[in-house]
Amino acid sequence: MRVAIVGAGPAGLYAAEVLAHEYQTEVDIFEALPVPCGLVRYGVAPDHFSIRSVRDKLVETLDNPKVRFFGNVSIGSDITTDELSKWYDAVIYTYGAAKDRSLGIPGEDHPMSIAATDFVKWYTGHPDAQDFAQHLRNSREVIVIGLGNVAIDVARILIKPISELRTTDMPEHVLSALESSQVRHVRIVGRRGPQHATFTTKELKELGEIPDVDVLVNIDQLPPDDLAASNGDRVVERNLKVLREWANRHDHVSSKSIEFLFFSTPESFDAKNSLFHVHQMEMKSDGEIARKGVSYTIPADLVIRSVGYQGVEMSGLPFDNTGNVIPSENGRILNRERDYVAGWIKRGPSGIIGTNKKDATNTVNQLMQELNALSSQSLEPLRINEILEEREIEYVDVDGWKRIDAAERGLGLARGSERTTIHERSVLLNIARGV
């Protein structure tokens, strides 16, 4: 049996591990980028060392002789989904949810309004990222919209002293852009209250530990009773405790600040006058949020929208346009015999990295149960390499990835960090080729 996996992020690599290790099944992993690890490489903040170190464990899967890696191969264009279905006994799609969600407000499309997904791509050294150095040179006041962990990551990276980022694996061009950044005030704007935020306490608390940064919270926006407002949710209870401590502090002397503005729904961005308009919201006695009838403006040279990731359709596969996922039942794509899903493209953009392990395992268990009833149809393994070569697709195999890994570690050594991310696709491909 030979299974193809589309996407080498956590869900794909966990699925490969279960297939190869527990079921002794051959696996080919296809990844559009030249390197594995998906959002652990291009999503997790570079200063979150312990979460990022999950990478080392994830890539161990590629050392299993039953697993092959085909990086820099786009399914949907280089190879179609129909072809994959014919060439393998089964396919698992784990390509995640890479697109940003939009707000649908005037001014959103202005160049000084950017998606957090793009900003994160940039500071993690994604090969297709836009450069935001100029944005940071021209911005003193920044608004981050959203109350999730991505919003917290973005706010922290925007304002953290460069000395604390030098030990990360951020590419050099990102570090120099952050060093010459003019950003002084970051406002985190949420349409609902602190008790509705989806950020977690560890991430929230870190904001208070950044040198020369005050965290500002308006005590009137906190609930009258934290215990009642958290309704048994320990994370909410702990978040409220942290926010209340900040709200009670009045010794603000730092040159930079992060301010929380809750109950403020985005209305429009007036980039010409560097103003962001929000509408005030209030919580009704039934717990619902409603417009209060008052608007106000916030200074904003740059707006970063952190309102969630979104899955995108892949040509040839069914798609649920409401949930932005591939519709499935127990991991098998609806009305397909041998096609499966796992990770964010199956269940939407939520959960921690470990959530994908359970999710991928469930899908693989279901797949193996169903596959036993079907006959094998997979191509000879070397035929896949031949097809890629016939199509002149420059794929990166496990050895190529190891060369990239060694080069990044070597670059890191030179500046005293564990590694430095190489961000240009052509450079990554040259290194993979051994050039």
Residues making contact with ligand NAP (CB under 6 A) = 48, 103, 145-151, 153, 190-192, 196, 198, 200, 203, 265-266, 306-309, 349-352
Q: CA-to-CA distance for 343 and 97, rounded, in angstroms?
A: 9
Q: CA-to-CA distance for 221 and 332, rounded, in angstroms?
A: 45
Name the residue nearer to ligand NAP (CB basis): 50 or 163.
Answer: 50
**Residue whose beta carbon is closest to ligand NAP:** 148
Nearest to 69 by CA among 367, 399, 378: 399
**CA end-to-end span of the chain, whole Å?**
35
Q: Which amino acid is at 232?
A: G
Name the residue nearer to ligand NAP (CB basis): 151 or 210.
Answer: 151
Q: Number of C-alpha atoms within 13 angstroms, CB side, residue 374?
A: 16
Q: CA-to-CA distance for 260 and 249, rounded, in angstroms?
A: 14
Name the residue nearer to ligand NAP (CB basis): 148 or 343.
Answer: 148
- CB 81, min distance to ligand NAP, A: 26
Name the residue nearer to ligand NAP (CB basis): 157 or 396.
Answer: 157
Name the residue nearer to ligand NAP (CB basis): 20 or 39.
Answer: 39
Reported as type and span, the H/E element at residue 156 is: helix 149-159
Judge whether 171 and 136 are in contact, CB under 8 Å.
Answer: no
Name the residue nearer to ligand NAP (CB basis): 2 or 55.
Answer: 55
- CB 194, min distance to ligand NAP, A: 11
Nearest to 207 by CA among 234, 187, 180: 187
- CB 52, min distance to ligand NAP, A: 10
Q: CA-to-CA distance for 368 and 21, rounded, in angstroms?
A: 13
- CB 79, min distance to ligand NAP, A: 29
- CB 260, min distance to ligand NAP, A: 12
- Residue 188, beta-bridge partner list: 144, 260
